[in-house]
Structure 1
Amino acid sequence: MYGLTFPSKGNGPYKSSPLSSLFQALIVSGMFFFLGLFHVIAHDFLLKLKNKGLLELSTQNGSVVLQGVIDKVPVPSIDGIRTEIEIHGLGRLCLYIKGATESDFPPGELIRFSARLRPIVNVKTPGTFDRELWWKQRGIMFQAYTEYPLKCICLGKIHPTPIEDLRVIVLHRLQKMIGTQNAGIATAMVLGEKSWIDFSTKEAFFKAGIGHILAVSGLHLAIVATFFGILIKYLLSFSDRLLLTLPVKKISIAVGCAFALLYVALAGFSPSAQRAFLMVFSFGLAFFLKRELSAVCALSLSAWLIVLFNPYSLKNPGFLLSFFAVFFLIWYSPWINTGNSFEKLIKLTIIAWLSTVPLSSVFFHQTSLIAIPLNIIIIPVLGTILLPGLILTLLLDISLWLFNCAPSSVMWYPISFLINLLNSVVQNASKLAISTLHIYSPTYFEVLCFYLILFFIGLLLRGEPERRFSIGAVTVTLIFMLSFHWYQAYHGKDIEFYTLDVGQGLSQVIFTPKKVVLVDAGGGTFPYDRGSFVVSPFLLSKNRDVIDYLIISHYETDHAGGVLGVLEKLKVKKVIGPKPAHHQKIFKRIKSLLNEKGIPFRIINSYETISLGENSMLFIYPGSTYKDLTKTNDKGLVTVFWSKGRSILMPADIEEKREMCLTKSFTQNVDLLVAPHHGSVTSSSINFVESFRPKFVVFSYGLGNGFGLPDPKVKMRYLRIGSTILETPIHGTIKASIDQKGNFTISTYEN
């Protein structure tokens, strides 16, 4: 396959044993592994080199004026649009434009704008979405925010963008003919672009386990290639001479592949679309060359080509889910193809679901329990009626529109009705209590074991010769997997305290062998909040889906904004918080959701102690006991965690006046302090610092936050007493561990 051959056993003077063959295979595998590693490093280096100009501009303070060309169709974003800009000689940029609509900035438009450049960076918290990698796949490393029309102007279209212009036509025709909401679903089904679907609808599709229909797949390409292949064959059939002199079948295949390529370009070259096209192209090429090609070889070739041109695809969830699903469908095809059509559909759906469960657990921490029955119902209708009807109606509509014939909205009625029906079924199904199962994030070892078991079961179903070997392999893999679980269960009794990297905000997590405590949940506004996208994925990645105590220090957005997301995603037993001020709307939203879910909520008005198991206590100091405190920050809860003689102080956003009160009621050296108010100069007074003398100080803040946090003077106060400073934007999520002997250790996401 790779152009390397090794003598077979008994062939010539080289008689290789099975062991030497294995050794040779390992050498070849190692060579390709290191070549691949070098390829990724080289690709990363070239991308940084290409964006060197933007990197230099991003280090400047304040805004810069840039001019560039929009090279992608803008998509909706919060309060505006998001688009991609080519800055001549500097690189590509993701630009958010507040107050603009998609029609204000068509592709190919030259624009000038004023904005502050920022590098696209991940929150450094385990289990979270790799946003940095997602943008690197698109050749982008920087982002900017501007406002229309105050800081952004259009200078006219200077570059033709035929593919993007065609995407605009498709979007406009769908929105005009079937309405905004249905058009969003139709756009996702046709182009794989989900930005026009509102958050709740998108989440409903994934909860129901049919989110895959919102991506371009082999079914789409099969419809397009078959339609145009048959069309060209039909047109050629009008001439007997052409039928006799031309290779009609080859021409039909070539035309079908050409239109399939156009369709993939229209769909934005998503991983699943690339995989489907390359497989179609491989089979078409094999037909031209009169060579046989197995489905596994076509799949392998597709994977190799995609990774060759974009090595970042290896960590793309869509790429991995698509290839694993197709591989196991091919592997199980002898078993799937037995029985009647309905039995085949059931088998196909089960294998597709099983092959994606481990990766869905890793990337999304959930799976759908109703995916199998729902797919059995929806996929036949989608594949035979809805999707072919949608694509063909769209082709007819655009053709009539291009020839100045007004397309009738009547021809869209069946499609609109079916999409409405699909949406209704999905919405109702996703509301079922059993629709979604939030599951622990498995380790890579567990994922490997699962896929090995699935592989060997497939081998077992293939016939008698491999049966005994397959049974043994499945048994051994299960033993390894169960042994690993046993080891994990009996070797995880350390106390763990985490300060999560949530950007500009704060969230802290305590794990004891028996309890989980969450103190604050970061910022943001639901549904785009840190609780949904950072805190919940982190907890699930640590195999924790139940929170015993959720403590809200105070009701400001950077601390309590993520609470709604956590309450929606995970099971919470009890919520504790201070008395709210009348103007704090976020408290009303939290209280409403708590009432809806029946979660007990308690306002703390006096000092309280909570036991978290053996030798572990939580002490809560409310600000309401001090009547002379007027600031909201000072009225928040201060939490102290104590275990095995070690202490961690979490003072939230208290300021100097409350710090004085705290030093009077509680004074001792602490092992770790989460710096009050993110390192603001109004906090961490000299008296406070001297009273607690922390060994480690954690500053939780967002890089380039605009508030000047943390203040250099504050950092210097801690350095003077010998504290070690840790910062979430630099070190990422910070973990403090207390073992059974009381030893205290610190580790960070970066190391």
Structure 2
Amino acid sequence: MNRFLRHFKQPFTSVWISLGFVIGCISTVFYYQTLEFTVITISVLIASAYFKPFLNVLLGFILAICCIVVHFYLFYSYKLPNVENNYAYPATIYVDEVISAKQPQYIKATLLKLNGDEIHKFKAPKAMLSVDSEQLIKHGDTFDAAIALKEFRTIKNINVFDNNVHAFKKRILFKGKVLNKQLSILHGASPSIIIKYREFLKRTFQKTSLNWLYYALLSGDKSLMSFENKQTMQSLGLSHLLAISGLHIGLIFSCFYLLCKYTVYILKVRVAQSINLTFFYSFTGWLAAFIYVYLSDFLLSATRAFIMLTCAWVLYFVAKQPLRWRSILYALVAVLLINPFNVLNPGLYFSFIAVAIIYLVIKRLPKTKYNWLSVLLALCIIQVALFIALMPITLIYFSGVSIVGLIINLVAIPLLSVVIMPCLLLITIISTVVDITPVIVLFDNMLRILLDYMDAIPWQYRWLDIAKPRTLYLIAAYIFILIAWFSPFKRLAIIPLCVALVDYMFLPKPLWQLHVFDVGHGLMTLLEKDNQALVYDFGPSYFNRFSRTYSVLIPYLKAHNLTVSDSIISHQDNDHAGGAAHFIKAGFGDSFKRFHPHGITTRCNSLDYNFNDLHISSFSSDKYDNENDNSCVLLVKSPQLTMLLTGDISKARELSLIKTHSLQADVVLSPHHGSDTSSSMEFIDHVNPHTVIHSTAFEGQWQFPSESVVSRYKAINAKQYVTARDGQITVSIYKDGFEVTTARKHESYWFIED
């Protein structure tokens, strides 16, 4: 025990309090009101009773809880004064951002006044609003209007982008519609410095092919990037270069530090010996970094990196040979004090883990004379360390890893640091005085050639899709790294690995699953077995651009590394077939050949076939004069369970089917989303389901499922689930039964009311 305690020699009290604060923030935000939070709290209490330093950890833990409570009630707890859906709120609205400039416009706005109550802009809630007025509104405008408003709530699915959490992080509490056709708009003052700066960047680089890259590097704004640009950078492992982070802030600091230093040297400025020139040089670099962050409109990643720089800079001049890891810890505390809900942001973990790894590797590197070989070796070691340390969290958030990124970054990071960023800064500064378009175009052509060479790398060597691991495995991986690196008892590092292994070996794994995704009004389902998938319907598409296929289905397939063997469209209504064309565009066209050999606009084939030992029977029809009753119906049988997927059939088709086929099923998708035109008592008595799933929109215009349909299924004691209420619904089949899980219960947080 004495040996153990010697390794925890009297660190500053502030360090232990800071550590407790970080643990408290993460535990409270993610696990409050759960068993995990109780276990963590009791563990901290027990540790503080036996180890004196843990009393300070406990203090930090309590401070974190208090900070979260205060922050939540100050900024996130605003409630609508009237909960009636049809109530029109008089409001004063400030336009933060115009999301879509086309009529009707879609804006992100701050509610400065609501229902007669003035709200200070510091704590005013934000809302996403649709505006269909005769005037076009712009960023910075203010106007009074009547608005229909309700709590922000969107679809909820597992392992895909969560709009509810994203809106919460942006403090968007409501969504609604401006009811006025005529608005009295108070236009904002002249464009801000930030807007002028961004317009200047667009003009300066408008004739270049990589203007999206330069604009992102200099402003932090990725709005000029296409989807293809983002995919390319991600597959090459270069996405981190586009977010203003510690690398960029460090480069700005270094550039202006050196510029100031050599300016003083060249000009041979004489100063008194009492003046600390290093402080002067570093202050110039710090000020330049601040301006850079300001021009990025205090982008979260940029602000976080600037706080880290500030902490390191202050500690350097205040303390004698300060430990670098302390500056990282204090910076983390500062970020969480500003907003403890920053723990929801993935960039927080990438940034701080990356900086910590760089510091630790540099500290362990042998002290040798600096030459190009030693620098190259150091870069290689750092890059390998970053690749290994960030891999668990990369798999969690991206369900894959860039294979060539490990090598490309050895070229890209020095190139960005020594050439690209300094040249961009120089070009930007000179362009404020004189037009140097030929130089810019030449620079762009050289960089374009380099990017084309990288883009020519075959996809199979660029990106490896890996199924998203459980969070437990992520935690186990990092505990293993921490114990192996820091603990004197390195053999203990085997414990978290053993816990993860036991969980993997003994956690029951389903034989197969049915996923009914939450897509609003529509239907999108997926059968999953042995890493193979069968898709039945694709949900809606809006304006032929936005599709649930892109936002839900494809991300889910990637997160679980599934191969799609077959795809089926029940019928051609947009809420079922809207995303099919996008699925084909994404490269899944061959999956339609079995059931739609003559094209996706034709009815499915009626056939029986084996899908990984599941017996699939499809029933097609062309006897009816409406698309709904001609829906392709699917019966899925296994020794453990039978499922019936029904499309939009009505009572007429139901009666026809039960007369000619045996359709008894344990789980059924209610026909036509639970409409009263379907689910006749004859059909329900014949199928006799144990579980019924209604795929509907939350507070949709048709109010599905119908109360009469719910009552009819209730009469046979069937358990009912509704995607509008429960989010994505997953039926997992095991040897001895099945289990139903829902997204809103599985992946909900205490601070987001569903």
Is the counterpart of residue 309 in structure 1 residue 338 in structure 2? yes
2:744 aligned to which of 737, 747, 750: 750
Are the structure 2 counterparts of residues 111 and 227 from structure 1 closer, same or farther at C-alpha, using a change threshold of 3 Å? farther
Aligned ranges for residues 71-470 of structure 1 at < 5 Å?
71=96, 74=98, 83-90=107-114, 91-95=124-128, 105-111=137-143, 116-144=148-176, 151=181, 153=183, 155-158=185-188, 165-179=192-206, 182-229=210-257, 248-335=277-364, 340-398=374-432, 400=433, 407-418=435-446, 420-421=448-449, 423-425=451-453, 427-429=455-457, 432-455=459-482, 469-470=489-490
Q: Secondary structure at the match of 2:377?
A: helix
Conserved? CA contact 1:623–1:658, under 8 Å? no
Decide whether aligned partners of structure 1 residues 98 and 337 sit closer, same or farther in structure 2, where only a CA change above 3 A counts.
farther
Q: Does residue 531 of the first structure (1) align with residue 559 of the second (2)? A: no
CA distance in 1, matches of 2:206, 2:386: 32
Seen in structure 2, the aligned counterparts of structure 1 residues 121 and 244 have a Cα distance that, compared at 3 Å, is same
Match of 2:709 among 714, 724, 733: 714
Secondary structure, aligned partner of 1:619: strand
Structure 2 counterpart of 1:343, one-letter code: L
Task: Give the drift of 1:215.
Answer: 0.6
The letter of the residue matching 1:267 is: S
Distance 1:295 1:246, change over 3 A: closer
Give the conservation status (yes or no) of the 8 Å contact 2:568–2:604: no
Number of residue pairs the alignment of both structures matches? 688
Contact in 1 for aligned 2:157/2:552 (Cα 8 Å) = yes
Report the Cα distance in structure 1 between the residues aligned to 2:377 and 2:663, rounded to whole angstroms.
69
Equivalent residue of 1:332, what SS? helix
Contact preservation (8 Å) 1:503, 1:702: yes
1:9-28 alignment runs, 5 A limit:
23-24=51-52
Local SS of the residue matching 1:433: helix
> CA shift at 1:167, angstroms?
2.4
Shift of 1:306: 0.8
CA contact under 8 A between 1:581 and 1:632: conserved in structure 2?
no
Deviation at 1:573, TM superposition (A): 8.0
Structure 1 residue aligned with 2:94: 69
Instruction: Note the aligned Cα RMSD (angstroms).
Output: 3.9
In structure 1, stretches of 5+ residues that fail to align are 7-17, 401-405, 461-465, 589-601
- Counterparts of 2:315 and 2:56, CA distance in 1: 27
Do residues 677 (structure 1) and 694 (structure 2) align? no
CA change 1:250–1:344 in 2 (3 A) is: closer
Relative distance call for 1:36 and 1:373 in structure 2 (3 A) is: same
The answer on 1:606 being equivalent to 2:575 is no
Distance 1:271 1:198, change over 3 A: same
CA contact (8 A) 2:296 2:302 kept: yes
Kept after mapping to 2: 8 A contact 1:499/1:507? yes
The residue matched to 1:750 in structure 2 has which SS?
helix
Contact 1:257 1:281 in 2 (8 A): yes
Q: Which moved more, 1:278-287 or 1:708-717?
A: 708-717
Which residue identity does 1:209 align to in structure 2? G
CA contact (8 A) 1:108 1:160 kept: no
In structure 1, the residue matched to 2:749 is none
Q: CA deviation at 1:335?
A: 4.5
Distance 1:514 1:387 in 2: 44
- Counterpart Cα distance in 1 of 2:687 and 2:194: 61
Structure 2: runs of 5+ lacking an equivalent: 1-11, 18-45, 115-123, 368-372, 746-754
Describe the shift of the 1:392–1:707 C-alpha distance in structure 2 as closer, same or farther (beyond 3 A): farther
**1:656 correspondence with 2:628:** no
Following superposition, the deviation at residue 316 of structure 1 comes to 0.9
Distance 1:638 1:275 in 2: 53
With over 3 angstroms needed to count, the CA separation of the structure-2 counterparts of 1:40 and 1:501, relative to structure 1, is farther
Amino acid at match of 1:530: R
C-alpha separation in 1, matches of 2:366 and 2:157: 44
Contact 2:532 2:562 in 1 (8 A): no
Distance 1:340 1:106 in 2: 54
Match of 1:706, SS state, is: coil
Q: CA deviation at 1:366?
A: 1.7
User: CA 1:136–1:351 in 2, change beyond 3 Å: closer, same or farther?
Assistant: same
2:698 corresponds to: 703
Deviation at 1:538, TM superposition (A): 3.5
Write the distance in 1 (CA, Å) between the matches of 2:414 and 2:283.
28
Separation in 1, partners of 2:338, 2:424: 32
Aligned twin of 1:599: none
Per the alignment, residue 15 of structure 1 pairs with none
Task: Provide the rounded CA distance (Å) in 1 between the counterparts of 2:517 and 2:611.
Answer: 23
CA distance in 2, matches of 1:389, 1:146: 46
Aligned to 1:597: none
Q: Deviation of residue 666 (structure 1)?
A: 2.9
Structure 2: distance between partners of 1:567 and 1:27: 59
> Once the 2 structures are TM-superposed, how far is the Cα of residue 214 of structure 1 from its aligned partner?
0.7
Distance of aligned partners of 1:477 and 1:114 in 2 relative to their CA distance in 1, 3 Å threshold:
same
What is aligned with 1:12?
none
* 1:497-512 alignment runs, 5 A limit: 497-512=514-529
Classify 1:206/1:20 alpha carbon distance in 2 versus 1 (closer, same or farther; 3 Å): closer
SS of residue paired to 2:223: coil
Q: CA deviation at 1:177?
A: 2.3
Q: What secondary structure is seen at the aligned counterpart in 1 of 2:298?
A: coil
CA contact 2:48–2:55 (8 Å) conserved in 1? no
2:569 maps to: 552
Distance apart, 1:300 and its partner CA = 0.8
Q: What is the deviation of 1:745?
A: 4.0
CA contact (8 A) 1:659 1:688 kept: yes
Task: Describe the SS at the equivalent of 1:702.
Answer: coil
Residues 197 and 75 (structure 1), Cα distance of their counterparts in 2 relative to 1, 3 Å cut = farther
SS of 1:653's partner is: coil
What amino acid does structure 1 have at the position aligned with 2:465?
H
Once the 2 structures are TM-superposed, how far is the Cα of residue 216 of structure 1 from its aligned partner? Answer: 0.6
Structure 1 residue aligned with 2:752: none
Contact map agreement 1:185 1:419 (CA 8 A) in 2: no
Deviation at 1:296, TM superposition (A): 1.0
Distance 2:423 2:377 in 1: 26
3-state SS of 1:329 partner: helix
Mapped contact 1:207–1:368 kept (Cα < 8 A): yes
- Relative to structure 1, the CA distance from residue 550 to residue 135 in structure 2 (aligned partners, 3 Å threshold; closer, same or farther) is same
**Residue 71 of structure 2: SS of its match in structure 1?**
helix
Cα shift at 1:619: 2.2
Following superposition, the deviation at residue 206 of structure 1 comes to 1.0
Q: Distance in 2 between matches of 1:412 and 1:371?
A: 27
Q: Compared with structure 1, are the counterparts of its residues 550 and 309 closer, same or farther at alpha carbon in structure 2 (3 Å cutoff)? A: same
Please say if residues 522 and 540 of structure 2, whose CA atoms lie closer than 8 Å, have aligned partners that are also in contact. Answer: yes
Structure 2 match to 1:618? 616
CA–CA separation in structure 2 for the residues paired with 1:114 and 1:610: 57
